[in-house]
Structure 1
């Protein structure tokens, strides 16, 4: 008899697991599970709560509508280029090697189409093929800035490489710059491939294909051989049929790639197809390296088939000032804006009496000084130095080379052998003239400056070595500063403060702002203004529509534009969105392209010539944002998120390791993650003189070479226009234990007088080995102090004291102009 089937019956102690576990529901677990994926804001907007509640059919219909809209956009873009009178596709031919010829690429394409090469229009050769117009723009030189300007407005980029030579350093820097500023569709063309044998032909093609895949992993096509007729036909097929990707930062700005340009009586007429977005005459336009201008009118041809037909007005310059954008870029700060009261008549009279009294006292002092032995006033009215004992008659006969200016007086041991004479011939004391009232220090005099050319190379080399040494020292001992003993630190560091916590201590962003902050605009709702100006242009009735052949009449252009037009470089006019000409504070996330400073030695001539290796905060540099370039003097800070107080640490040098945030005054740019490129002058990039009067000597393009006078130093993107971002500069005072007894220690070499110790007594101390403490009392009069810590410190430890001060960039922003020899602030 078979045994019955056995079945397990659970008892009362069976484990019941929870129906829902919250183990992976925390923010950190969800972030790790997402693996860096960020949900699309467009998808979140489309899949609203209302659509989810309507059921499966509503969601399917909603997805179908989204797909239809995308297909309609692609068809609209394709129809933009179709037909004999469609928009011209601009194809920029970029050489990456030294032995390639971009002009030969254009001639090969026209030869394959059995069409003679026409006359170029501002450097562009137009070809009618497959009911489309292809405009080829060959870059016959490898100058960096002209190529970047042409690639910005290009629809296709043809990289020309050689089968005989590798891509050199200039080509690599050019490729890096193009990728950093943004690239649309791209193809590769190879030259000199027919000179190789069958085996070398295959190896060269494979090597070039690998090289392009290294820079562009999504590259679909292999390099096209110009000697192969099949490759030429396939190249033209791809140029006509491939969908254009476009640039995100460019699609919201109107721009015109000029087909012709002519300047007459201060008005520039530019003819070309309008691309990007609609354009109205009430808005401003920007010409690269020349600035912003107003549009007088926008016209088009009545008959599109006849280029010489009568013009039809599309948009005119508005007569109402409220309906047009102003060329004013900054505000005029009111010096009396913060005044609480206005002085009374009695106070004004008392002030006038004090001024008159001071003038009388000054006149008496001048008369008394004139009675003494002096010198004859110089014709230029400047204070001069003459040998002691020289009479007034003798000083009048001194030659110019025997007179030493007061600002260039030598600081030597025999300084009393010279006397200073002012404008009226009276003797004045140099120490009294340079000492500020209420200051305990004396301003140092400038040494004699020899402007001989034979000393220029040696001076530049010494300046570069000093900068490189300071940069390396800042990397090894960041923010540790040594001050002279003669200057009391309570005066030298009077503007610094101590904070309990760098990330959480309150710091008012509107406290003690400089006058420059009264000149800029605060973009509080910058994220909301991201695409709002573009919608306003689309709604204007008199705006020119995208794809129209327009004639732009630009007012008050300089004569230097005629030289640019005749040079044959790409000439593109960009339209500005509302408020994009206003000056504000821009923050950029930048990364250096140079090597680590520790691997650089200032002993070789090559390293000495590369002045762009060391970049200091507030050094004049060229910042390119989108289609605009400016001279700026930025400050650099750490690329951190910041705490609750939005405070970030200032960096004295732009070091190659890691990313930094550069803050400078620039016009607004309503496009997030806009590409930013930082350039530095190649020759003599060392500031001379005071920090407020720095001058950059820049050689011309023809002298430096084909790469131009600028070196690409850093790349990145725009973060925001946050004027409340606080950048603080840290100063670390260091001391060393003299005697240690349990938790108490005697510290020396941090201060050198008792008053400084009592002044900084409330500040917390810390050591490099993790101990914290405070000052108890000074010991003696030579800077020794008694300190107590949370634990016993080591005899070889270093005691530190942190002080902080907010810093700001310099308001010296001006438009960069090609070929200028020196950087000067906009105020000069």
Structure 2
């Protein structure tokens, strides 16, 4: 954006640059003013609007060949030139692609209703992507009576005020009104989109496909158009929206078809400034098309988008004696002593954090996170005090638990298990009403240690360490990663602002020779779809992991499933991918993400080509009837493969018997081996008590657990409905004279 680039300039210089930019747009030295006509109602008469715009006095109209509704308007008297392109009604992708490169959008409204449901959907997508300069026009409405015409205009103005607070409504029924509209389009302040102002881009005016020698399906695509945004370098890559990334072989300078002065061939004047005069020869100078620049193989960007993984890179060789001694020394230096429950493996013990580690982790935190961690650290301290106090007096705990009842003996514990089966089904039905988040049922047919072997127990989402390089999938060997993405982005943007790039300047009419393009691109252009090109910044062709911060669109009520294929509009790109959804957390030192929540901002993680923010993103879901529903909108958050997305599962159990701080828990596991496997994992109750598994009881998954405080074993009770208004008559009362025999009691 201009106000970002020039924030350090004086106010007077800034105003001069803005004025120069406004004057260059549509002038002889700048590109034609690109206006995209967007009908927002099925009754909006777009053809009448185009007919009125073409009927300007002293204006030359040049209709685009093979493009319905497209024409150029040249006004030598005003020294202005426009190019009007009509977006196809119902083709949402075409509207969004044209809005990416348009200087102005001309919305055509209906005189009575303004816009319909399709127009409302189109406006929602355009606002989410980023709206350039726009104008509102209302053709027709003259056939209504004067009173109804005034009422319809007031109703339409009220609707426009909510959607476009500062917009001005232009009636479009006469040539004079069309002249006022053109003047407004030429003089209004331009709104900039950051993702296109930092990249060279153009809308194809003409295109030609030259088949290759090996196959007719792939060849060279010659695209002609006006350069916009930034200077176009032939050595950079070019992205054709909806089709992919490609390389260029050369850039030509043909005669400008929309020149205000046809007698001057601008391609000949430009060719004098190039260094290809001695290379091309005198014969080429006499031609109309001049070669501006050819690609330099040593400076050309590569199309490599993925890293080719080496299968032998992970192989381990036999260590030398020196390496063994160094490893043993480091192991002794890093060795620590921790108290763990019985049966804990070395790997599981590594996840148990002692007091010293917690203190060191807290010292390493930033000052602004200390306040957020105080509460969690106090809870952990209370938990450890409870555990340590329990370990100091194990005999008292054993005595308290074992002397309550003889049924807790291990050899008699498996008797009468049919009642447990019935109680389990009843407990499952009662638990459906609680709606505990992320809670899952432990399977009966598969051992829990097998079903959840990829999961690990975390003491805290915020403070528990997690190595981002651990257990990576094979796909991570194919992606690129920056050492410092933010620093690379700042350096690249600073270079764009300060350094001048050699190539085709903004406003030049050029022809790009794009190599190895499939013939489907040309077929799409012949069908009337727009052909939009963007030059790529360095590294933007490489694959990585992109994180988007989005919010659900209000019109979307259907649930979105993880790994479901969606359509993305990310900045200037359009692609399909199957993302992961996670909940966004603000306090996020270790970059841990909780799983999907419908009531919060979502982070969408996906494999995609690198894109430097800022860039807007739109997510569409394709229905069976080929319609695309807008489900979420947002922006690019980061390009970071180290951002950890965690899927959380909660295994719950039911306290069978409670003895102060000790309880017997069932229904969490169903065999003894699972209890021993999950013994190192910390337990937590819904009321905040923390504890651990002491030992299994029997062979059906019951376990004895100890907590850091008294467990609340309360439940609410209600009276039974036993009201009866009919009371039986009392029987006559008679005193009994019988005497009970006196029992003899031996006294000591």
For normalisation by structure 1, the TM-score amounts to: 0.64
User: Which residue pairs with 1:151 in the alignment?
Assistant: 99
More moved, 242-251 vs 145-154:
242-251
CA distance in 2, matches of 1:474, 1:662: 30
2:61–2:71 contact (8 Å) kept in structure 1? yes
Where do 5+ consecutive residues of structure 1 fail to align? 1-39, 47-64, 344-472, 598-612, 684-703, 798-828
CA distance in 1, matches of 2:11, 2:112: 47
Q: 1:503 aligns with which of 444, 453, 462?
A: 462
Q: Please say if 1:671 is aligned against 2:590.
A: no
User: Which residue pairs with 1:327 in the alignment?
Assistant: 303
Q: State the SS of the aligned residue for 2:10.
A: helix
Q: State the SS of the aligned residue for 2:440.
A: coil
User: Which residue pairs with 1:182 in the alignment?
Assistant: 130
CA distance in 2, matches of 1:596, 1:679: 10
1:299–1:550 contact (8 Å) kept in structure 2? yes
Q: Please say if 1:549 is aligned against 2:490.
A: no
CA distance in 1, matches of 2:563, 2:206: 40
CA distance 1:272–1:595, change in 2 (3 Å):
closer
CA distance in 2, matches of 1:312, 1:533: 32
1:83-125 deviations in whole A, cap 9, x for unaligned? 4564211111111112113222111222354768642244531
User: Which residue pairs with 2:250 in the alignment?
Assistant: 297
Aligned-pair CA distance for 1:215:
2.1
User: Which residue pairs with 2:202 in the alignment?
Assistant: 256
User: Which residue pairs with 2:295 in the alignment?
Assistant: 317
Q: Please say if 1:778 is aligned against 2:738.
A: no
CA distance in 2, matches of 1:492, 1:164: 61
CA distance in 1, matches of 2:114, 2:179: 26
Aligned-pair CA distance for 1:588:
0.2
1:301–1:311 contact (8 Å) kept in structure 2? yes
2:114–2:156 contact (8 Å) kept in structure 1? no
CA distance 1:117–1:541, change in 2 (3 Å):
closer
CA distance 1:625–1:295, change in 2 (3 Å):
same
1:101–1:140 contact (8 Å) kept in structure 2? no
Aligned-pair CA distance for 1:787:
2.2
Q: 2:108 aligns with which of 136, 150, 160?
A: 160
User: Which residue pairs with 2:600 in the alignment?
Assistant: 658
1:649–1:729 contact (8 Å) kept in structure 2? yes
CA distance 1:342–1:777, change in 2 (3 Å):
closer
More moved, 301-310 vs 125-134:
301-310
CA distance in 1, matches of 2:4, 2:189: 25
Q: Please say if 1:126 is aligned against 2:76.
A: no
1:737–1:796 contact (8 Å) kept in structure 2? no
1:478-532 deviations in whole A, cap 9, x for unaligned? 3212232121111221221112221011111111111111111112322223254
CA distance in 2, matches of 1:246, 1:115: 28
CA distance in 2, matches of 1:742, 1:571: 73
Aligned-pair CA distance for 1:788:
2.7
Q: Please say if 1:68 is aligned against 2:12.
A: yes
CA distance 1:85–1:199, change in 2 (3 Å):
same
Aligned-pair CA distance for 1:541:
6.2
2:616–2:636 contact (8 Å) kept in structure 1? yes
Q: Please say if 1:571 is aligned against 2:531.
A: yes
Aligned-residue Cα RMSD (Å) equals 2.8
1:740–1:795 contact (8 Å) kept in structure 2? no
CA distance in 1, matches of 2:99, 2:434: 37
User: Which residue pairs with 1:688 in the alignment?
Assistant: none
User: Which residue pairs with 2:659 in the alignment?
Assistant: 741
1:273-300 deviations in whole A, cap 9, x for unaligned? 1000111111110111111111110121
Q: 1:111 aligns with which of 55, 61, 84?
A: 55
User: Which residue pairs with 1:559 in the alignment?
Assistant: 519
2:109–2:115 contact (8 Å) kept in structure 1? yes
2:481–2:544 contact (8 Å) kept in structure 1? yes
Where do 5+ consecutive residues of structure 2 fail to align? 212-218, 268-286, 320-431, 717-748
CA distance in 2, matches of 1:82, 1:168: 32
CA distance in 1, matches of 2:530, 2:594: 41
Aligned-pair CA distance for 1:307:
7.9
Aligned-pair CA distance for 1:624:
1.5
Return the structure number with greater relative CO, CA threshold 8 A, min gap 6. Answer: 2
Aligned-pair CA distance for 1:301:
3.8
1:102–1:139 contact (8 Å) kept in structure 2? no
Structure whose alpha-carbon radius of gyration is higher: 2
CA distance in 2, matches of 1:41, 1:503: 35
CA distance 1:213–1:315, change in 2 (3 Å):
farther
Q: Please say if 1:528 is aligned against 2:528.
A: no
1:322-352 deviations in whole A, cap 9, x for unaligned? x111111010111221222179xxxxxxxxx
1:95–1:142 contact (8 Å) kept in structure 2? no
Q: 2:236 aligns with which of 271, 274, 283?
A: 283
User: Which residue pairs with 1:592 in the alignment?
Assistant: 552
Count of residue correspondences: 565
